[in-house]
Structure 1
């Protein structure tokens, strides 16, 4: 299965309640990802397993987004974070201003493999992996943009 990151939009009220009651947050996420998933008014998405490769590119291109450091921790085990609407809006603006080509210019499969950028498959199919990262980036831009346009925050799940 591997390590992955995903986002689903959340209201300010949901994030506030989740911060106070992590057990409620689990129930809320179960409903959001339940039988009515995906809901048209709930943007979702994320880099999935591509987060490590994208983080490498963000760091090299000096894009201010850190998946595992941004947001606020909801679960003590580090598997659930909340991102408030202001943070979502800020990231959306930065991502919209960052064309894929700026990130792709920093793609270095050799170095990414040496530094163990997750999931460390960069040398096996360098061109295919770059396309995979581009698709994950486009999904991330779409998620943050849609959530920001609706004034929403987000839950970020970090599964490992």
Structure 2
């Protein structure tokens, strides 16, 4: 399974309640993914899944301010659930929309990423395929953050390991 990060949209009210009542947040977040539909209808959902560290490497190299594991606010003490306010989502959406993929791709260095053990450290095995995968994940993130920002939503970010 591995380590992954995912986002699902949340209202300001849900995030406020989650901050006040982490046990409610844990249960509510789980319910968003239960049942036959994944996630619940009407919820925006996006990766970066297992590509978070590869994208983070590119973000850092391109000097973008987004930091998956540092942004947002911690909801669960075990570090598996975070909240991102509508303002944070809007700021990230603006930055991502202003950053063409080509700017990030110019920093792709599979040899260096492998040497630095950037998770999941498969960069040497299929460098072109991994770059294509990062691009698809990036486009998914741009769409998620953009649509969430357009709707005035925040998000829950889960960190699974």
TM-score by shorter chain over 0.5 = yes
Deviation at 1:41, TM superposition (A): 2.6
The match for 1:18 is: 18
What root-mean-square deviation, in Å, do the aligned CA atoms of Structure 1 and Structure 2 show?
0.9
Q: 3-state DSSP class of the match of 2:90?
A: helix
Cα-to-partner distance string for 1:105-160 (whole Å, 9 max, x where unaligned)? 00000000011111110000000000010011011111101110110000000000
Distance 1:18 1:77 in 2: 15
Cα-to-partner distance string for 1:35-54 (whole Å, 9 max, x where unaligned)? 24344531111100000000
Q: Structure 2 matches for 1:1-160, cutoff 5 A?
A: 1-35=1-35, 36-160=37-161
Unaligned runs of at least 5 residues, structure 2 = none
Distance 1:158 1:123 in 2: 25
Q: Calculate the TM-score normalised by the size of structure 2.
A: 0.96
Distance 2:117 2:52 in 1: 13
Q: Contact 2:88–2:154 (CA<8 Å) still a contact in 1?
A: yes
Count of paired positions: 160
Distance 1:120 1:16 in 2: 37
Distance 1:41 1:95 in 2: 23
Cα-to-partner distance string for 1:78-99 (whole Å, 9 max, x where unaligned)? 1110000000000000000000
Q: Calculate the TM-score normalised by the size of structure 1.
A: 0.97
Unaligned runs of at least 5 residues, structure 1 = none
